[in-house]
A and B are shown apart, each in its own frame.
Chain A
Amino acid sequence: MNILNRIQGILSPLGHDLSFAGAYLIETLIALIFAVTVVAGMVYFFRKYMARVQNRIGPNRVGKFGVLQVMADGLKLMQKESIFPDGRDDLPYKIAPIIVFLGLILAFIIVPYSNLYWFGSLTVTHSNVGIILIFAILAIMPIGEIFAGISSNNKYAMLGALRAVAKDISFEVPMMLSILAIIMIASVNTSQPLNLQNIVSVQNIPFGILEPIGLFIFFISMIARASYSPFDMGESDSELVTGDTTEYGGLRFGLFYMGLFGTIFLGSMLVSVLYLGGGSGPYESSIGFIWFLIKTIVLVVISLTVWLSMPRVRIDKFVNFGWKILLPLSFINLVITGIIILGGIA
């Protein structure tokens, strides 16, 4: 029994179709609110954590312990004047931040959040091909980055977009191959291995233990997807000003910024779903969501620590790393997965 059915039950006087449509809408809204809250929380947590790492205090003026700092910054960004560069390609320039943020938000409605007491699961779409859907949605986000880069009429932005493209194509193949290994190993115990809920439920042994190489590749891919140091080639702070987002300001910049932090959280959620068993743990049926969040937050902390302690990799070295190390490793991972399946360990 999850939120969807409860809402549908409340709306049932409207008739079957209407009530389901209403329930989906309302639950999507709830998921969106969750996503935005998470992103805002991530920004606050990042700033506080970064301050701790760097011997600083961090935001502490707006609200108790600076918790309202994010809102204050958001309001400031909204009030800012929109400055458009001359000679821009208008439509791509304007929709680029929306694409990035939309791709992020859409992914949040598919992630299999586990149950939480009476509320049930927050997941809106229980698709049988959820894993394909989520990576299709993730593949939308780079389009936003590229649009931003090529439409700004700025050489820095263009170089940033070129770097982002080079980065994207070098990690996405290994990433999808490591996903393939997940699907292979999940298909042993379930007839629908593309369903994210099934992938979570068949992880008696977390896949991260069975496939440590896959976990490694996927985690690196998620760092590169979210595009933060050491793999923030699209942005390349100190070299290309801010890369593809150079010409953006105000709320549009804010959307990119939220996209970045949302993707860190999303990537951590995906790692915990695919490799660490998602919401599985003791008392899974009632507090699975808590387990899921704990795993995710631990991964977020690891990600942020990596971010704060690493310099940027040079783009050609990352491309080499993607094609010459990650790709062979992901094939080896496939072979190992096959051996595990044949050996009957899974």
Chain B
Amino acid sequence: METTKPVNKYVELNMGPQHPSTHGVLRLKLLLDGETVKRVEPVIGYLHRNAEKICELDYYCDSLLYFDRMDYVNSLSMEAGFLEAAEKLLGIEPPERAKWIRTIMAELSRIASHLVWAGAYGLDLGMLTPFFYVFDLREQLLNIFTEASGSRLLTNYMSIGGVYQDFNDKIIYMIKDFINSFPKKLEEVFNLFVKNDIFISRTKGIGILEKDVAISYGVTGPMLRGSGVDYDVRKAEPYLMYDKVNFDIPVSYAKDCLGRFLVRYEEMRQSVKIVKQAINKIPDGPYFNPKAKKSLMIRLRGEGEAYGRTESSKGEFGVYLVGDGTVKPYRVRVRSPTFKNLSVLRELGKDVMIADLVAISGSIDLVFGEVDR
């Protein structure tokens, strides 16, 4: 009897959802040929909390809470993104002071997010130490957020028509203190990465993302700018006060993990630049639009549709709202940048080694609260 069983040359491996380097609950189905990844299939949905639907069942002002919990390391940018759409829909314009405050907080939040990413990227590559350094730096930011909003991570600071409370002298002092000391400390930490030959060899030329592939997948943010496309919502369609400050959009033409790393590094420095200008430009005046005062907030009605797009630390964050004239939105839809960025992993993860796959998926900057929502 001659039965030849087809010998399966490949090994299937489930990476995640519980795995040290999948940043939360990403599951990667890998097809391996020895150490080489032949196919990678990201499976998502393990952190799905139905945030969009819950928002539809809530008042406009309450929906903000769920946006905090999307990209939880960058919650202030998420709030700014939601309010961009909600205020268009509800027809409430925040006063100028509130806009400046939001700009500052969103930029600080971007720094906080990139810091976490850098630390986690170090862990992905097997470096333990920078993780603690960046969290040390981030702690100062969290103190600022605590002073402003009373909460460290899920701030719920901005609200429809303005912000929850005004900047006082202490917050302004803390922010000034932070932006003065931060660039030097940041450089120190980043030298740990970029002056290390092993780090360079692990990232340089790894995970090449071509420009047209990136655009066709809808990749945005540092991933896109790392592939040489000069696109940033802050410049392309300025919101808040980004047209009144002077800053640059870093672009890398290297298209690899190292390029994306350096883009994020430079973005942090540009954020400091923005905050430095903004903190001196805050005008006096109300921080809250009286049309949306707290007792009336749940009675705000929206009709029609509105789309607000902002640049979160991961890419273009879009919120689409449809109102039917009641106090609750009819439809809430989020364009999550990380979800789009993750989809390109299938292209990047072909014929690479497992170690490179970890480096590539780390360079996407995944936060699963936002991918799964």
Contacts and interface: CB of A to CB of B under 8 A. Distances in A.
Interface of A: 50, 53-56, 155-156, 159, 162-163, 229-230, 232, 236-241, 308-317
A314 B20 contact: no
B358 interface: yes
30 contacts: A50-B128, A54-B128, A54-B129, A54-B132, A55-B132, A55-B136, A56-B132, A155-B13, A159-B13, A159-B32, A159-B354, A162-B34, A232-B126, A236-B126, A236-B355, A237-B126, A238-B124, A238-B126, A241-B20, A309-B127, A310-B127, A311-B122, A311-B125, A311-B199, A311-B202, A312-B125, A312-B355, A315-B35, A315-B353, A316-B353
B122 A239 contact: no
Interface string B121-141: 011111111011100100000
Contacts of A310: 126-127, 196, 198
B133 A241 contact: no
B contacts with A: majority SS = helix
Contacts of B21: 238-239
Contacts of A309: 127, 129, 192, 196
B11 interface: yes
A contacts with B: majority SS = loop
Contacts, number: 82
B19 interface: yes
Interface residues of B, number: 31
B35 A159 contact: yes
A155 B15 CA distance: 10
Nearest to B357: A239
Nearest to B34: A162
B198 A239 contact: no
Contact of B19 (A162, A241, A312, A316): A241
A236 B20 CA distance: 11
A308 B122 CA distance: 11
B20 A237 contact: yes
Given A155-B11, A236-B355, A238-B358, A311 B129 contact: no
Given A237-B20, A239-B21, A314 B132 contact: no
B14 to A, nearest CB: 8
Which of B20, B34, B122, B128 gathers most chain A CB within 10 Å?
B128
A311 B196 contact: yes
Contact of B20 (A53, A238, A313, A315): A238
A309 B196 CA distance: 9
B181 interface: no
Nearest to A314: B355
A229 B126 contact: yes
Interface string B91-105: 000000000000000
B201 interface: yes
B372 interface: no
B356 interface: yes
Interface string B8-37: 000101000001110000000000101100
